[in-house]
Structure 1
Amino acid sequence: MQLFLALCFLLGIPSGAPEIHSLKYFYTAASNVPNFPEFVVVGLVDDYTILHYDSNTRRAVPKQDWMNKITEEDPSYWERQTQIDFGDQQTFKGNIEIVKQRLNQTGGLHIVQWMYGCEWDDETDEVNGFDQYGFDGEDFLVYDLKTETWIAPVQQAVRTKHKWDNDKVEMTRYKHYYTTECPDWLKKYVEFGRSSLMRKDLPSVSLLQKTPSSPLTCHATGFYPDRADLFWKKDEEELHEDVVKGEILPNHDGSFQMSVDLDLSGLKDEDWGRYSCVFHLAGGQEVSKRLDKRDIRTNWKTNDGGFPTGAAAGGVVAALLLLTGCIMGLIVCLKKPPQGFRATNTFETSSSSGEDPAEKKMLKTSS
């Protein structure tokens, strides 16, 4: 799987079933990228951001209230994490230059990424680990836990692959980390945030239309978490044409909202009952609303100055909710930095030894 160039993909809907928990760490080192920190650490539990560090703030901070529980056991935890992340910032700054030289791409914009973590099935207790490096969105090195070897997708990484494969001591450490240490930390974090991680709220779903010629909006609000989908379907087939899907936006109470528009211009009256709007929450729960003219809320006026059938006031309120959500979403996007967490991982480098830092393995130890 290729690594993406930006951290936005972290907000996507996870593919695993709800009983599969995951702990993921993302490191991004950027070279000559405007308006983006040169180094960012992001970590997630079940795709919820739990800690963030970047080279602008130089502070490791929790991004979920329940992550503060860790200081009850270790009061100096966050300060120590800050120092570790700052050290990794210096290491990655050197490593990105080395990878650029190896690939003969010393100029322009470049990004080096490292992603690792583990998964745990809380029903079967099965665990799995993953670890990979990428350069400019392409895989550079990938760890295979089953064979306990590194895979080099590009020729320039073969040299490092052989060196890391031949270090049997470190390969043993890798296996222990991904089969024992990482899952242990994941289980601890899941316990810390159980009330939030296990929360499932279904939304209220409304049909909204500004004017008779406007697209019909299916609006879902009040759902949690944000790992959800909203779509139109005809009979039992999901529609992709004549459909415009909006982004998931936050509500003031911590829940979320989203909408999807359907172009009604080509819809025949006798086909209305064949269409429905479906909300799907991660884990399989659904809310379906069949298309019915009587359920459409609108605020357009009839020729006599009154409102047509439907909840006019509800339409106005819903429109205001949409506007408020858009404003809140814009504020969040403008103010919210990339977020994350990290386990204690460092490159062993020595500028005085003449050794290539890119050929050094990560040392993984518990945080």
Structure 2
Amino acid sequence: MRTLLLLLLFCHVSSPVLHSMKHFITASTGIPNSQELVATLEVDELLMGLCDSNKGLDVKDVAKSFFTKYPERLEWYKQGCLNVLPIFKPRINRLMRLYNQSEGVHVLQEVNGCEWDDETEEVKGFVQFGYDGKDFLELDLKTFTWMALRPEAVIAKPIWDASKVGVGVVDYYKTAFTLIYPELLKKYVEYGRSFLLRTELPSVSLLQKTPSSPVSCLATGFYPHRASLVWRKDGEELHEEVDHGEILPNHDGTFQMSVDLNLSSVTPEDWTRYDCVFQLYGVNEDIITKLEKDRIRTNEVKSSNMTVLVTAAVVVLALILIGAAGFIVYKKKKAISPPSYYLDEQPLDFLWREPGRC
């Protein structure tokens, strides 16, 4: 049963047939010297294009060949880039009036898109809005009505359900999810297989800040983002004493992730029973990294050869200074002692003779 649950979990996270297209839109007001709008297009978590209110549409290299083949889609995005700001600004103003906000910085965000299973042909759309950094409203695609995602949004829900703004958004997405988005995503996947369906294996490292810190297994440089990273003991995946990090993007379009293992209750003799396992969609072989002391990179400061040389130099210098100080003291004592010729010519008993006697 446990094995079946793990397989289901991994399939959910890293389904080999699930593709996605996402639009992220952020509009703001009250921020001096900044873009009032920034929007991005991502396909399978890969950035394809960026639009801002100052520079217009910037198509990334991975998507240029696609838009060369489908120029009508490029024009569609250009028009969308021009039209989004005039739509979002009134929305922000209406929300400010609704919440009695006359000034200040306010941000309205939207994420929309769809996921497509290329085996079952099932398409699932999604639309969600956020306001001032918090979830706000989400479109229920069964009833095509708005759902409040926090208490403050309850008063906005009936307004969006009845207003031209809310109704207009619903009408647009009814068409988008049935025609525009599925067709566009399928074309991206078909034309962009060389970069969307590629696989890149990561480098895996074991990191530890101090001897008492958890050991972190870091995998970086992998693609696609559908991957799994776990700690095992005797071949069994661990669920306790581990802390899973999120999958994060790298600047080159690849991804990284990490998982920490708490070794506070593990004896050094048992370390060899642990290993870190990385699994990537589309690759049959796993990357297994054994928990061994010499594999761990740490921030702990260790004495180097240079440190030893510096320490030796300091000791030698200290000895020289001590010797010099002793020589100076010796010279001073010698300067106030009786001359040697006096000691040679006078009997030594002068040292205890009474004053005035010869």
- Scaled by the length of structure 1, the TM-score of the pair is 0.63
Larger radius of gyration: 2
Q: Deviations over 1:161-209 (max 9, x none)?
A: 0346996x98666433212221011101111211211112333434467
- Residue of structure 2 equivalent to 1:19: 17
Instruction: Measure, in 2, the Cα distance between the counterparts of 1:42 and 1:176.
Output: 21
Match of residue 118, structure 2, among 98, 118, 122: 122
Instruction: Measure, in 2, the Cα distance between the counterparts of 1:136 and 1:303.
Output: 50
Instruction: Measure, in 2, the Cα distance between the counterparts of 1:139 and 1:304.
Output: 52
Instruction: Measure, in 2, the Cα distance between the counterparts of 1:48 and 1:104.
Output: 39
**Aligned pair in 2 of structure 1 residues 193, 36: CA closer, same or farther (>3 Å)?**
farther
Q: Is 1:155 aligned to 2:155, yes or no?
A: yes
Q: What is the identity percentage for the equivalent residue pairs of Structure 1 and Structure 2? A: 43
**Aligned pair in 2 of structure 1 residues 46, 223: CA closer, same or farther (>3 Å)?**
closer
Q: Deviations over 1:98-151 (max 9, x none)?
A: 211112233332211122222211001111222233222344433222223333
Q: Which of the pair has the greater relative contact order for Cα pairs under 8 Å at 6+ separation?
A: 1
**Aligned pair in 2 of structure 1 residues 304, 191: CA closer, same or farther (>3 Å)?**
closer
Match of residue 69, structure 2, among 44, 67, 72: 72
- Residue of structure 1 equivalent to 2:193: 194
Deviation (angstroms), 1:18? 3.1
Instruction: Measure, in 1, the Cα distance between the counterparts of 2:26 and 2:217.
Output: 37
- Residue of structure 1 equivalent to 2:133: 137
* Letter matched to residue 66 of structure 1: A
Q: Which moved more, 1:202-211 or 1:61-70?
A: 202-211
Instruction: Measure, in 2, the Cα distance between the counterparts of 1:34 and 1:166.
Output: 29
Pairing 1:288-307 to 2, within 5 Å after superposition: 288-293=288-293
**Aligned pair in 2 of structure 1 residues 80, 171: CA closer, same or farther (>3 Å)?**
closer
Contact 1:28–1:111 (8 Å) recurs in 2: yes
Contact 2:67–2:74 (8 Å) recurs in 1: no
Q: Is 1:62 aligned to 2:74, yes or no?
A: no
Instruction: Measure, in 2, the Cα distance between the counterparts of 1:133 and 1:21.
Output: 22
- Partner of 1:60, secondary structure, is strand
Contact 1:97–1:106 (8 Å) recurs in 2: no
Instruction: Measure, in 2, the Cα distance between the counterparts of 1:212 and 1:140.
Output: 44
* Letter matched to residue 22 of structure 1: S
Of Structure 1 and Structure 2, the greater helix share is in 2
Match of residue 48, structure 1, among 46, 49, 60: 46
Contact 1:151–1:161 (8 Å) recurs in 2: no
- Residue of structure 2 equivalent to 1:39: 37
Contact 1:233–1:239 (8 Å) recurs in 2: no
- Residue of structure 1 equivalent to 2:3: none
Q: Which moved more, 1:144-153 or 1:169-178?
A: 169-178
Contact 1:217–1:262 (8 Å) recurs in 2: yes
**Aligned pair in 2 of structure 1 residues 205, 83: CA closer, same or farther (>3 Å)?**
closer
Match of residue 78, structure 2, among 76, 82, 92: 82
Contact 1:213–1:265 (8 Å) recurs in 2: yes
Match of residue 110, structure 1, among 106, 111, 119: 106
Q: Is 1:237 aligned to 2:235, yes or no?
A: no
- Partner of 1:23, secondary structure, is strand
- Residue of structure 1 equivalent to 2:322: none
Deviation (angstroms), 1:60? 0.7
**Aligned pair in 2 of structure 1 residues 40, 268: CA closer, same or farther (>3 Å)?**
same
Q: Is 1:271 aligned to 2:267, yes or no?
A: no
**Aligned pair in 2 of structure 1 residues 233, 251: CA closer, same or farther (>3 Å)?**
farther
Contact 2:160–2:166 (8 Å) recurs in 1: no
Instruction: Measure, in 2, the Cα distance between the counterparts of 1:122 and 1:244.
Output: 29
Deviation (angstroms), 1:19? 1.0
**Aligned pair in 2 of structure 1 residues 282, 31: CA closer, same or farther (>3 Å)?**
farther
**Aligned pair in 2 of structure 1 residues 184, 256: CA closer, same or farther (>3 Å)?**
closer
**Aligned pair in 2 of structure 1 residues 238, 102: CA closer, same or farther (>3 Å)?**
same
Contact 2:21–2:185 (8 Å) recurs in 1: yes
> Could you list the runs of 5+ residues in structure 2 that have no partner in the other structure?
1-11, 306-358
Contact 2:241–2:261 (8 Å) recurs in 1: no
Instruction: Measure, in 1, the Cα distance between the counterparts of 2:270 and 2:200.
Output: 32
**Aligned pair in 2 of structure 1 residues 240, 94: CA closer, same or farther (>3 Å)?**
farther
- Partner of 2:23, secondary structure, is strand
* Letter matched to residue 158 of structure 2: V
Contact 1:28–1:40 (8 Å) recurs in 2: yes
- Partner of 1:113, secondary structure, is strand
